[in-house]
Amino acid sequence: MSGIPVRQAENPSTPTGTAMQIVVNGENTAVAEAISLSDLVDSLLLAGQRLAIELNGAIVPRSLWPEVRLSEGDRAEIVRAIGGG
């Protein structure tokens, strides 16, 4: 995969009532059907953190996270700032 250099993520906890597969940071992830990006962030225990999200290659502004719904096979990249030179 091109793009942001990766640090391998562990498998996130799977929310209950899962119905579809998406890919989050390169990891296959089961989530509830039509979950919103906000819900995804919550389910990954990332709420309140300073993040940016790219969905299928396009950045989704934070203000739109509550209304953007995910579909089967979507690819999300969730990034943050870490130490670097």
Q: CA-to-CA distance for 59 and 50, rounded, in angstroms?
A: 15
Binding string to another protein for residues 59 to 78, with x set by CB under 8 A, is what? x-xx--------------xx
Q: Is 41 helix (H, G, I), strand (E, B) or coil?
A: helix
Query: What's the length of the chain?
Result: 85
Q: CA-to-CA distance for 73 and 85, rounded, in angstroms?
A: 34
Least Å distance between CB 32 and another protein?
17
* Single residue of 14, 17, 19, 27 touching another protein by CB under 8 A: 27
Contacting residues toward another protein, per CB under 8 A: 2-7, 9-12, 24-27, 44-46, 49-54, 59, 61-62, 77-85
